[in-house]
A and B are shown apart, each in its own frame.
Chain A
Amino acid sequence: MATLKEKRTCGQRCEDFGHFVWNSDTKQFMGRTLERWVYISLYYVAFYIVMSGLFILALYVMLLTLNPYTPTYQDQLTSPGVILRPDIWGEEGLEITYNASDKKSWMRLTNILDKYLLHDKYCLLYISKSIPFYFIDYNETHQNESNQHCPSGSYYIQKDFRGPHHTKYACIFTREMLGSCSGLEDPTYGYPEGKPCFLIKMNRIINFLPGKVGSPPYVKCTMLEGSHSTLQDVDYYPVNGTFDISYFPYYGSLAQPNYTNPLVAVKFNRITKNTEIKIECKVVADHIRTDNFHDPYEGKVVFQLKIES
Chain B
Amino acid sequence: MTVFTAEIVNPCVLTHPYNDDHQLSFEELEMKYTTSVTKGMTSTMAAQVLERDGCNELKPPKGTPEYIKFARQLAGGLQCLMWVAAVICFIAFGILMGQGNLTSYDDLYLAIVLIAVVVVTGCFGYYQEFKSTNIIASFKNLVPQQATVFRDGQKFNINANQLVVGDLVEMKGGDRVPADVRIVSAQGFKVDNSSLTGESEPQSRNPEFTHENPLETKNIAFFSTTCLEGVATGIIINTGDRTIIGRIASLASGVGNEKTPIAIEIEHFVDIIAGLAIFFGATFFVVAMTIGYRFLEAMIFFMAIVVAYVPEGLLATVTVCLSLTAKRLARKNCVVKNLEAVETLGSTSVICSDKTGTLTQNRMTVSHLWFDNHIHSADTTEDQSGQSFDQSSETWRALGRVAGLCNRAVFKPGQDAVPIPKRDVVGDASETALLKFTELAFGNIVDYRNRFKKVCELPFNSTNKFQLSVHELEDPLDLRYLLVMKGAPERILERCSTIMIKGQELPLDEQWKEAFQTAYMDLGGLGERVLGFCHLLLSEKEHPRGFGFDVDEMNFPTSGLCFAGLISMIDPPRASVPDAVMKCRTAGIRVIMVTGDHPITAKAIAANVGIITEGSETVEDIALRLRIPVEQVNKRDARACVVNGGQLKDMTSEELDDLLRTHPEMVFARTSPQQKLIIVESCQRLGSIVAVTGDGVNDSPALKKADIGIAMGISGSDAAKNAADMILLDDNFASIVTGVEQGRLIFDNLKKSIAYTLTKNIPELTPYLIYITVSVPLPLGCITILFIELATDIFPSVSLAYEKAESDIMNLKPRNPRKDRLVNESLAAYSYFQIGAIQSFAGFTDYFTCLAQEGWRPLLCVGLRSAWENAHNQEVQDSYGQEWTFAQRLYQEYTCYTVFFVSIEICQISDVLIRKTRRLSLFQQGFFRNKVLLSAIVFQLCLGTFLCYCPGMPNIFNFMPIRVQWWFIPVPYGILIFIYDEIRKLGVRRHPGSWWDKELYY
Interface assignment of B153: CB less than 8 Å from any CB of chain A: no
A127 to B895, CA, bound (A): 23
Interface assignment of B569: CB less than 8 Å from any CB of chain A: no
Q: Which residues of A contact B805 (CB under 8 A)?
A: none
8 A Cβ contacts from B561-577 to A: none
A261 to chain B, nearest CB (A): 9
Cβ contact within 8 Å between A74 and B854: yes
A246 to B858, CA, bound (A): 33
Q: Which residues of A contact B963 (CB under 8 A)?
A: 73, 75
A128 to chain B, nearest CB (A): 6
Interface assignment of B687: CB less than 8 Å from any CB of chain A: no
B136 to chain A, nearest CB (A): 15
Q: Which residues of B contact A130 (CB under 8 A)?
A: 857, 859-860, 879
8 A Cβ contacts from A195-226 to B: 201, 203-206
Chain B 322-359, CB-CB to A under 8 Å as 1, else 0, gives 00000000000000001011000000000000000000
Given contacts A71-B855, A126-B864, contact A131 B881 (CB under 8 A): yes
Cβ contact within 8 Å between B888 and A81: yes
Cβ contact within 8 Å between A43 and B888: no
Interface assignment of A174: CB less than 8 Å from any CB of chain B: no
Most chain-B CB neighbours within 10 Å: which of A63, A74, A75? A75
Q: Which residues of B contact A44 (CB under 8 A)?
A: 833
Cβ contact within 8 Å between A253 and B884: no
Given contacts A51-B838, A75-B854, A128-B863, contact A6 B875 (CB under 8 A): no
Identify B888's interface contact among A47, A76, A125, CB under 8 A: A76
The chain A residue sitting closest to B872, CB to CB, is: A89
Cβ contact within 8 Å between B880 and A71: yes
Cβ contact within 8 Å between B75 and A4: yes
Cβ contact within 8 Å between B845 and A206: no
Cβ contact within 8 Å between A295 and B887: yes
Identify B882's interface contact among A48, A77, A122, CB under 8 A: A77
Interface assignment of A1: CB less than 8 Å from any CB of chain B: yes
The chain B residue sitting closest to A78, CB to CB, is: B888
Q: Which residues of B contact A204 (CB under 8 A)?
A: 877, 881-883
8 A Cβ contacts from A53-67 to B: 54-55, 58-59, 62-63, 66
Cβ contact within 8 Å between B259 and A71: no
Q: Which residues of B contact A43 (CB under 8 A)?
A: 999
8 A Cβ contacts from A24-45 to B: 31, 36, 39-40, 43-44
B460 to chain A, nearest CB (A): 49
Cβ contact within 8 Å between B955 and A206: no
Q: Which residues of B contact A69 (CB under 8 A)?
A: 880
Given contacts A292-B887, A295-B887, contact A1 B260 (CB under 8 A): yes
The chain B residue sitting closest to A13, CB to CB, is: B271
Interface assignment of B922: CB less than 8 Å from any CB of chain A: no
A13 to B862, CA, bound (A): 42
Cβ contact within 8 Å between B882 and A252: yes
A125 to B611, CA, bound (A): 83
Interface assignment of A259: CB less than 8 Å from any CB of chain B: yes
Interface assignment of A227: CB less than 8 Å from any CB of chain B: no
Q: Which residues of A contact B888 (CB under 8 A)?
A: 76-77, 81, 295, 298
Q: Which residues of A contact B75 (CB under 8 A)?
A: 3-4
Cβ contact within 8 Å between B880 and A31: no
A223 to B880, CA, bound (A): 35
Chain B 473-496, CB-CB to A under 8 Å as 1, else 0, gives 000000000000000000000000
Interface assignment of B867: CB less than 8 Å from any CB of chain A: yes
Cβ contact within 8 Å between A6 and B848: no
Cβ contact within 8 Å between B825 and A3: no
Q: Which residues of B contact A36 (CB under 8 A)?
A: 995, 999
B105 to chain A, nearest CB (A): 17
The chain A residue sitting closest to B962, CB to CB, is: A75
Interface assignment of A70: CB less than 8 Å from any CB of chain B: yes
Interface assignment of B608: CB less than 8 Å from any CB of chain A: no
Cβ contact within 8 Å between A298 and B887: yes
Cβ contact within 8 Å between A54 and B72: no
Interface assignment of B91: CB less than 8 Å from any CB of chain A: no
B887 to chain A, nearest CB (A): 3
A62 to B257, CA, bound (A): 60
Cβ contact within 8 Å between B857 and A1: no
A273 to B466, CA, bound (A): 126
Interface assignment of B525: CB less than 8 Å from any CB of chain A: no
Interface assignment of A22: CB less than 8 Å from any CB of chain B: no
Q: Which residues of B contact A75 (CB under 8 A)?
A: 854, 895, 963
Cβ contact within 8 Å between A1 and B845: no
Interface assignment of B258: CB less than 8 Å from any CB of chain A: yes
Q: Which residues of A contact B282 (CB under 8 A)?
A: none
A69 to B882, CA, bound (A): 11
Q: Which residues of B contact A54 (CB under 8 A)?
A: 841, 976
Chain A 131-150, CB-CB to B under 8 Å as 1, else 0, gives 10000000000000000000
Interface assignment of A153: CB less than 8 Å from any CB of chain B: no
A51 to B762, CA, bound (A): 15
A74 to B883, CA, bound (A): 11
Cβ contact within 8 Å between A125 and B867: yes
A82 to B855, CA, bound (A): 19
The chain B residue sitting closest to A40, CB to CB, is: B999
A244 to B626, CA, bound (A): 119
Most chain-A CB neighbours within 10 Å: which of B256, B875, B887, B895? B875
Cβ contact within 8 Å between B72 and A253: no
Q: Which residues of A contact B257 (CB under 8 A)?
A: 1-2, 5
A1 to chain B, nearest CB (A): 5
Chain B 843-862, CB-CB to A under 8 Å as 1, else 0, gives 01100110011110111101
Q: Which residues of B contact A70 (CB under 8 A)?
A: 880
Identify B834's interface contact among A6, A47, A72, A127, CB under 8 A: A47
A89 to B863, CA, bound (A): 23
Given contacts A1-B338, A130-B860, A297-B886, contact A62 B848 (CB under 8 A): yes
A59 to B856, CA, bound (A): 13
The chain B residue sitting closest to A127, CB to CB, is: B877
B870 to chain A, nearest CB (A): 10
8 A Cβ contacts from B783-823 to A: none
A6 to B963, CA, bound (A): 54
A123 to chain B, nearest CB (A): 7
* 17 chain-A/chain-B pairs, Cβ below 8 angstroms: A3-B259, A5-B257, A6-B1, A39-B995, A59-B849, A72-B853, A76-B892, A81-B884, A126-B866, A128-B860, A203-B884, A205-B882, A206-B881, A253-B879, A294-B887, A295-B888, A297-B885
B residues lining the A interface (CB < 8 Å): 1, 3, 71-72, 75-77, 256-260, 263, 267, 271, 338, 340-341, 725, 825, 833-834, 837-838, 841, 844-845, 848-849, 852-855, 857-860, 862-864, 866-867, 872-889, 891-892, 895, 955, 963, 972, 976, 995, 999
Apart from the given pairs A1-B260, A74-B855, 17 other A-B contacts in the complex at a CB distance below 8 Å: A1-B259, A2-B256, A2-B257, A3-B77, A4-B72, A51-B837, A63-B858, A70-B880, A71-B882, A76-B892, A77-B855, A126-B864, A130-B857, A204-B882, A252-B880, A294-B887, A295-B885
The 7 tightest CB contacts between A and B, nearest first, are: A253-B881, A295-B887, A81-B885, A203-B883, A71-B855, A2-B257, A72-B853
